[in-house]
Structure 1
Amino acid sequence: MNTALADHLTKQDVLAITQNDETRYYDVSSTPFLAGEVTTGQLVTVTDVTERESYRKWLEEKTEQLEALNRVVRHDIRNDMAVILGWAEILEDHVDEDGEEALERVLQKSRHVIQFTEVARDFVESLSEDADAELEPIELQPLLGAELAAVRDSFPDAHFQVSGELCDVSVLANEMLSSVFRNILENAVRHNDKETPEVTISCEEDSDTVRVRIADNGPGIPDNQKDQIFGKGEKGLDSPGSGIGLYLVHLLTQQFGGNVWVKDNDPNGSVFVVELPKVE
């Protein structure tokens, strides 16, 4: 037996033993042998957990890197883009007809970058959270209303409507539920090939769950991509974007104990369905 390891057998912990410039990790546990109330010996179990501990340390380093990236995205990039957008908006009253189209493109791209920083921030925060995210009752109706108002302001040329009534229920989630609906609503416009994008929200519930449907009149999604678009890094629909948004939607709905899928709309387009557990 390794003499360095033998010196630690009375401890119950994960031990790091370094020899010949190599570090290995051992999980040490012991069970006493008793004769009445007298300890006559002990069974010591030593398990090599080097691979597990190395992976844990790697995850800790990646989490620190993600949190650093989050700070850069949230502060540096977003703040600089907000300044660029502010100055560009001032120019709207000072450009002639020939420059209007170019300025409008600058404004659109600036707003898109700012929106992307919000998605990236939410994505990093969702990865940095504990495996068991803290969930609480969230009122669905006002949350959906707020997200609808936001996308109407961001996309004045698109038409958003509600079919029927939004479900007046609470669901088990947290404050990041807004990111789920924001990403789907914005995708319904950004990837739309119609002159006037049309997006319809409807809602239905049963005894345990509520389903929110977001339908659009865009190009639709091929059957062989319907699952792939929620995958990590998936770009789908020849998107110039990163694809982070729909992966975030998938990740968050899983954390909330729900599900998300996409199906064909009639006569064209897609319907994204978000299913979440209700809270009475």
Structure 2
Amino acid sequence: MANNSLGQRRLAEQRDDLRLLNQVMRHDIRNDLQLIGAYAELLEDHVDEEGEEYLEIIKESTESATDLTTTARDLARVMLDVDCEVRSVSLEGVLAQQVEELRSGHPGAVVAIEGSIPDVEVAGNDMLGSVFRNLLSNAIQHSDETPPEVTVSAAERDETVEVRVADNGPGVPDAQKDEIFGRGEKGLESSGAGIGLYLVQSLLDTYGGDVFVDDNGPEGAVFVVELPVVG
């Protein structure tokens, strides 16, 4: 009994240590990334046409890395917090907010909502926004088109609601449609699995939902999220 109590206390201490390490690392990394981004902005008037191309790559990579620190924070919260209560959340409020944030962060992209978002409550919590933020960001970051285009739609299906995030990117090969979410025994080590999509799958497992990817004709991919309707 004493050994069991000691083990539980040790696990709690390890979670606290990991939580602190995650917080400190993210803070320091984000500070460095903000510094890189600021200096990149200052260089805009000091590079020639060829240099502009490389500078744009630096800026895009900095933005992507900053987004990654946010995703790492959310994933750490899911993995380290033992109390992650699921409750009812307004789908319309969460989804509309994430679409607006994407538009603000990527003014060169075309982001549209097709039709209206159902005014329903779904299973989720404060982390539900991370599901859509990662899917929307993924659609922009992996696009090879100019401008990148993302279309969001949602519809009720019996006792669930289906949210579709469609893009005009290169699409996802059939062989990778499962493993990009880190499914299977390898988890994050699965070939092609990104931390953002792994987080999406982990959260939806918690909510009793699902996510899968389909083809978007004539080109691109559609990430489909299914969430239980509550109430």
* Short-chain TM bin: 0.7 to 0.9
Contact 2:179 2:191 in 1 (8 A): no
Alignment of 1:126-145 (within 5 A): 126-130=78-82, 133-145=84-96
Q: Is 1:213 matched with 2:164?
A: yes
3-state DSSP class of the match of 1:178?
helix
3-state DSSP class of the match of 1:199?
strand
Q: Which residue of 2 aligns with 1:114?
A: 66
Q: Aligned-pair RMSD on alpha carbons?
A: 2.4
3-state DSSP class of the match of 1:192?
coil
In structure 2, what residue type is equivalent to 1:128?
L
Which structure has more helix as a fraction of its residues?
A: 2
Q: Is 1:154 matched with 2:72?
A: no
Report Cα offsets for 1:88-108 as digits up to 9, x if no partner: 223334444453233222222
3-state DSSP class of the match of 2:229?
strand
Q: Which residue of 1 aligns with 2:25?
A: 73
In structure 1, what residue type is equivalent to 2:110?
H
Q: Post-superposition shift, 1:182?
A: 0.8
Report Cα offsets for 1:13-40 as digits up to 9, x if no partner: x143xxxxxxxx6x9xxxxxxxxxxxxx
Q: Post-superposition shift, 1:85?
A: 1.5
Report Cα offsets for 1:224-280 as digits up to 9, x if no partner: 2211111132452xxxxx710000000011111211111222222211111111223
Aligned identity (percent) is: 46
- TM-score normalised by length of structure 2: 0.86
Q: Is 1:259 matched with 2:204?
A: no
Q: Which residue of 1 aligns with 2:225?
A: 274
Q: Is 1:193 matched with 2:144?
A: yes
Specify the structure having the higher radius of gyration (Cα): 1
Q: Which residue of 2 aligns with 1:86?
A: 38
Q: Which residue of 1 aligns with 2:114?
A: 163
Contact 1:257 1:276 in 2 (8 A): yes
* CA spacing shift, 1:180–1:85, aligned 2, 3 Å: same
Q: Which residue of 2 aligns with 1:63?
A: 15
Which structure has more strand as a fraction of its residues?
A: 1
* CA spacing shift, 1:96–1:224, aligned 2, 3 Å: closer
* CA spacing shift, 1:136–1:205, aligned 2, 3 Å: same
- TM-score normalised by length of structure 1: 0.72
In structure 2, what residue type is equivalent to 1:82?
Q
Q: Post-superposition shift, 1:57?
A: 7.4
* CA spacing shift, 1:177–1:228, aligned 2, 3 Å: same
Q: Is 1:203 matched with 2:151?
A: no
Q: Distance in 2 between matches of 1:245 and 1:59?
A: 26
Uncovered stretches (5+) of structure 2, i.e. residues with no partner: none
Q: Post-superposition shift, 1:59?
A: 5.2
Q: Which residue of 2 aligns with 1:184?
A: 135
Contact 1:73 1:117 in 2 (8 A): no
In structure 2, what residue type is equivalent to 1:214?
V
